[in-house]
Each structure stands twice: as C-alpha cells, then as structure tokens.
Chains A and B, each alone.
Chain A
C-alpha cells in the first residue's frame, strides 16, 4: 500500500497528488511514468511524474479528472492509501547539452515537464518554456519552473495573459524573439502534442513528445499502447513514452485514444442505481 501525503486541486479539474513510494523515488528519471490503481477494483492508470523527492521518498503526479478512475483518485485525501504504485516505467528522456531547448507544456504537461526542464538546465541548455492553457486561471507552477528557464512565455486561448492563441503561437514568439531552438519538448494532451508536432516540424529539429496512449500493464506485455512511428509499430510503455512527434501517426493515435469513450462516459454518468441484479 502506498500512502497519499498530499492531494489538492491545483487549478480547476487538475489534481496534484504526492505519494510515498521511496524505492521508485530513489531511481526515477525525467520522462518516466508510473501506474497507479486507486482501489482494488480500479483501472491501472498510467501517470506522468511531475516531481520527486529522493530524500523524502515521494513522487508527485498531476492528473486531469477525466474518467471514473481519475475521479476516484481525486476524491482521496492525505493519509489514505492506494494499492498500486508501479514504476518507474518507460525510458527516461534523453538529456544532453543540445543548446537551446524550447519546452511546451499544456494541462498536466506543464507539471510533467518540470523534471526534464530541470535536468536540461543542469546540463547547461538554454531552456525556453511555453505554458499553454485555455485561460490564465489554468496556468500553474510558474514559480517552480522559473529557476530553470531563461525565457518564459504564456499562451492562452482567451488572451487573458501572455499571447492569445494556441500552440501555433510558439512559432510567432520564437520568430519575434529570434530564438532558434535545437530541440523541442512537448508534454500535454494528445491534441496539443499533435498540433505542436505539425506546427514545429519546419524547424527540422526533433520535437520530442511524451505520449499518453491507453495502457494496461505498462510493462511491455499487452500491446494496447502501440503507436505507428516512422511507419513502424512501437510500444509507448517500453519504447517510449518519448518519441519524435514529427514521425508519429497522429490521426491513428487520436482515434485509438477514443476507443473507450463510451464506456468511460458510462462509468462517470451511470450511478449504478436501478441496474438489474445479476
């Protein structure tokens, strides 16, 4: 059992949770993920890790309340326990001195970029951060990212802070500021990842995206997380989750993400009352 030491809504619909998992905290690296279960009947839920404390033995995740499982997690409080925290899973993000790296985070991806941003900074990269959200009240962690980045930009769809627009605005800002990145990193929903990959392809530098397909075991067994990269089938849980977004078949991935929409909605919207006895 794994103890929850912190759980709060960080911005509307996004939850921050800190868990005691000392052995994982000891060895986890940027870009790796964990699988959690909220209770013995729950799904296995893959979550990006937004931070850790090796001394305290804790992991911090940020997740969006979307389906039944994330709602159950969001209803849990510090002091409670969850039965599964398995990891660290997936390959670590490649961290080198690339030069200038532009990092784009949206939604939970603002948080899950922190470990890579910190590591890139420590390797001597010039790190430019773009935070993307619908509106200013959905941005967070500016102060936590600040120490590791040279430049910091907000993009909101309603223009309530920073530039108005979507991921495509990154192009304009880089041009205006005369910044020529040697690498991009993008974390967030599949839509953001796909959009950024398309918009930024013309730089001819890697656009590293952290994929979040449906998973079950997360250990290289079930194959549900398969994704076509450069025409080849790759498995996000063991070959990823980082891939060069320029090579990902986004249409296919976006459709695969939809597979269980009906069932997810059923779990969220159906209370179970009046369901026939079996």
Chain B
C-alpha cells in the first residue's frame, strides 16, 4: 500500500454462542465472521512488503494476498489463494494455534492486535462452502505413479491433496470407518463440526483421491506388500495408546483415557446416545487430568454431556497450561473449574469397581526445569480428596504401534516414533516417508500438515526422478 495508513488496532471479535447457552449444546462455539466483520478485519492488514506472517505458517500460505482479496470482497479469489497451499482451510482456520504461528509474527502483534488471520481463513472457506459450487483445481497431467497414504488424519490428507494435484494416483487408507483421524475421532463437534471435516474429505475425493476405510495397514497388509503395489508410501498413523499416570485405581470403572472418551463422543457420536449405539455414561462430577487442548476438549465435552461439576486437575499453575489460551478461556467461561497445582495420587473406588474419589496432593512451583517451565513440587501433608464419579486422563499418548510393530526394518526411537530425515520426511526404509504424530509424538494439526507438505515435496521429487 502506497499511502500511509493509520494503524487500526481494533481486532474484530469472533461472534460466539454465549457461555450459558453453549455449555449445554454440541453446536459450534465460534460462529464465524460475517462479511462485514471479515472485511473490516481484512482492511486492518498492512500488506507488508516483507510479510513476516508467512514465516509463521508451516504450509506457506500467501497470507497478505488472500487477506487483500477479502478486503476487496473477492472471496472466490481469496479461497483460491488459500487452497494453493492448504487443501483444508476450513479446518486450519478453526484449529491452528495462530497465536503462536502467523499471528505471532504479524507486525500488528507488536501493538498487541495482530490481524485475525485464522478467522479470515475460516471465513473464506465457509463462504465457499455456502456457495455450493466448490472450485476443483485442475490436477497436473497424470504421472502414472501410485502413492499409498496410510492414515487419513491431517498429515495424510495434506500429502494426499498435494500429490493428487501433482498428477499422482493417490490411495488413502484409513483403519477406522470414517476418514479424518484426530479431526474426526478427537476434536469435538463444538470446536470442529464433523460436517466440515466430511466436506474437506469429499473435496479430496473430488480431486481424485481414492479413500479406503476399515483397512488396517500393518495387519491386513504390511508396508512391504504395499510397496509391491505402490511407488511410494506415506505413513501418517498418528496417535497410539494413551498414557496413564501409573497411580493406583486407573482401571476402575469411570476412568477413561482422553482417546477413549473423545472417540466415544465424537467418532461414535456418543453424545447422541441412545440414537447412536455406543454408550457414554452420564457422570455428575468429572475430573480431567492434564492441561493441554485435549484436556480442555474433554472437560467441555463432559459439561455438555450434563455433568454438574467438571474440574481440570493440573499440577502446575495457569501460566504453564499447555492448552491454547483461547481454549482455556472458553472452558473457564463455560464453568470448568481449574483445580491447579494439584497432583492426583490415587483413584479410590467402591466395592463394585466404580470410581468414587480422587486423592490429590497440593503442589507449589519450584525452579524451571528442562522444558523451561517451573517444576511442580509436592507440598508435604497437603493431601485431600475430591469426590468424583469419572476421571478422564488426558496426559498424552504414545505413537500408534501397528506400523512400527509390523515393519521391524523401519527405524524408530525408544519412544516408538518413526525416525525421519526432518528436511524430507524420509524414513530409514526406501520409498517410505512419514510425518505427523507418528514422528513427533502428540503435537498439533498444523504441524502434522506441515510435515505432510515437506514429505509430499520430497515424494514428488522422488516420483518424477526415479519412482
């Protein structure tokens, strides 16, 4: 922009369902910008010559350009620009931690009011969906090369989307009955409606990706067998078995891993029980152990399922919560109780094996540890009990074991993650790439997508060169 522009520091708020309403329904909390709000927000963008925001984007979206198109009300052009780099804008606009990525680099962030890039991305994607004529970009001429993508979560769908546009024949394998990985089984409806995920998967299929569900690679077919049929394979199998606290009582009834609780509610639509057939018990008092986004998702789901009291139990203080601030605030507004500086010691059940109480200990913060966060230290003699009839353990998970177990020649770390070359996503096995949580351990949707993008580039180079 040539003429000097007055800085507009009025970041447009996201319209939301009010807390007292939304805490008892599963509809999406954030309602999305109206065109008027989107235009006002887009006009705040300074259109920097050297846009730092793009450095913060793992998938390298041309952020100033798409925002400019929104500002001039050319929404079709905005979505086209987004989709050049990101085949899942409706998802990323909702669940990326923009405050740590693009928005943290925005020049206006120095004044504390970065452009709401994520909200604008979501706006463009929703505008397109509402038009009911999604533009299908033309793929490059077919290369005749076949690619298998194992796992249809964020990493896998990015690889599939990128490679199909480059003219390769892509088959996407999913072990569950519905595609989307964590987007489908993990992230709740009120944060990412399943209809949005289905729309994005349909879009991939429209691009030419072949989707095969209920197909458990590593069991029905080994990587070696896949390599007989495909020129290259990407492994994005994500999360595996949940971690527990290793305290007494974790196998009591009423104790869930976050994976189980969320899968019951989301993938199996437990929140619609008995219309859906997979039950989720109604609990009155629910404790969620952990302080990440998954813990917030569990706590807010439990509220919506009708719990009277839901606690987040976390051993450090509010400042150290690993969840996005936005999610913490949403949970607080809805009435989740943050029982901080608290460590569960054991879970106590009744004679029939149902959870009744959680014995906890008070903690205080000591010196910073290797992670840079202040280490929690137990306060002697501070034990107390919380009556609870459910406890959801949300302290992370190991990588999925199926592929590493069935491919002994695939190099893994002692944590069970697949080792890759960071610059290419290449594994130790020829013609096999990997990315996402199976490589990094539990991380975010956009990091998995970024890893997918890197792997797709390397796979494409390989496929056109020698594949």
Q: Is the CB of B175 within 8 A of A86?
A: yes
In the complex formed, the residue of B with least CB distance to A45 is: B277
Q: Is the CB of B353 within 8 A of A44?
A: no
Distance of B14 from chain A, by nearest CB (Å): 27
Q: Which of B53-61, B106-114, B163-171, B251-259 lies at the interface?
A: B251-259
Q: Is the CB of B219 within 8 A of A87?
A: yes
Q: Known contacts A221-B259, A255-B352, A256-B253: does B278 contact A87 (CB below 8 Å)?
A: no
Q: Which residues from 13 to 49 on chain A have a C-beta closer than 8 Å to any C-beta of chain B?
A: 23-24, 27, 37, 41-44
Report the bound CA distance from A223 to B281 in whole Å: 17
Q: Is A135 an interface residue (CB 8 A)?
A: no
Q: Which residues from 255 to 269 on chain B have a C-beta closer than 8 Å to any C-beta of chain A?
A: 256-257, 259-260, 263-264, 267-269
Report the bound CA distance from A203 to B289 in whole Å: 43
Report the bound CA distance from A260 to B282 in whole Å: 11
Point out the residue from B176, B253, B269, B275 that lies within 8 Å of A217, measured CB to CB: B176
Q: Is B215 an interface residue (CB 8 A)?
A: yes
Q: Is the CB of B257 within 8 A of A238?
A: no
Which of B220, B240, B250, B274: most chain A CB closer than 10 A? Answer: B220
- Residues of A near B241 (CB, < 8 A) are 220-221, 223, 235, 238
- Residues of A near B281 (CB, < 8 A) are 259-260, 262-263
In the complex formed, the residue of A with least CB distance to B352 is: A255
Q: Known contacts A89-B219, A222-B242, A222-B260: does B278 contact A44 (CB below 8 Å)?
A: yes
Q: Is the CB of B215 within 8 A of A228?
A: no
Q: Is the CB of A41 within 8 A of B276?
A: yes
Q: Is A88 an interface residue (CB 8 A)?
A: yes
Q: Is B365 an interface residue (CB 8 A)?
A: no
- Residues of B near A226 (CB, < 8 A) are 251
In the complex formed, the residue of B with least CB distance to A215 is: B260
Point out the residue from B239, B263, B269, B279 that lies within 8 Å of A264, measured CB to CB: B279
Point out the residue from B176, B214, B260, B273 that lies within 8 Å of A224, measured CB to CB: B260
In the complex formed, the residue of B with least CB distance to A264 is: B279
Report the bound CA distance from A45 to B273 in whole Å: 16
Q: Is A85 an interface residue (CB 8 A)?
A: yes
In the complex formed, the residue of A with least CB distance to B405 is: A238
Point out the residue from A89, A252, A260, A266 that lies within 8 Å of B216, measured CB to CB: A89
Contact flags B180-197 to A (C-beta < 8 A → 1, else 0): 000001000000000000
Report the bound CA distance from A234 to B440 in whole Å: 24
Q: Is the CB of A216 within 8 A of B216?
A: no
Q: Is the CB of A258 within 8 A of B402?
A: no
Q: Is A69 an interface residue (CB 8 A)?
A: yes
Q: Is A189 an interface residue (CB 8 A)?
A: no
Q: Is the CB of B216 within 8 A of A86?
A: yes
- Residues of A near B175 (CB, < 8 A) are 86, 217, 219
Measured CB to CB, the residues of B under 8 A from A are: 175-177, 185, 213-216, 219-221, 239-242, 244, 250-251, 253, 256-257, 259-260, 263-264, 267-269, 273-279, 281, 352-353, 397, 400-402, 405
**What are the 9 A-B residue pairs with the smallest beta carbon separation, nearest first?**
A255-B353, A263-B279, A223-B257, A223-B242, A222-B260, A86-B214, A224-B260, A43-B277, A84-B177
Measured CB to CB, the residues of A under 8 A from B are: 23-24, 27, 37, 41-44, 68-69, 83-89, 216-217, 219-224, 226-228, 233, 235, 238, 249, 251-252, 255-256, 258-260, 262-264, 266-267, 270, 272
**Seed contacts A83-B177, A220-B240, A221-B240; 14 additional CB < 8 Å A-B pairs:** A27-B219, A41-B277, A217-B176, A219-B175, A219-B400, A222-B242, A222-B259, A223-B241, A223-B242, A233-B251, A238-B401, A256-B251, A259-B253, A267-B274
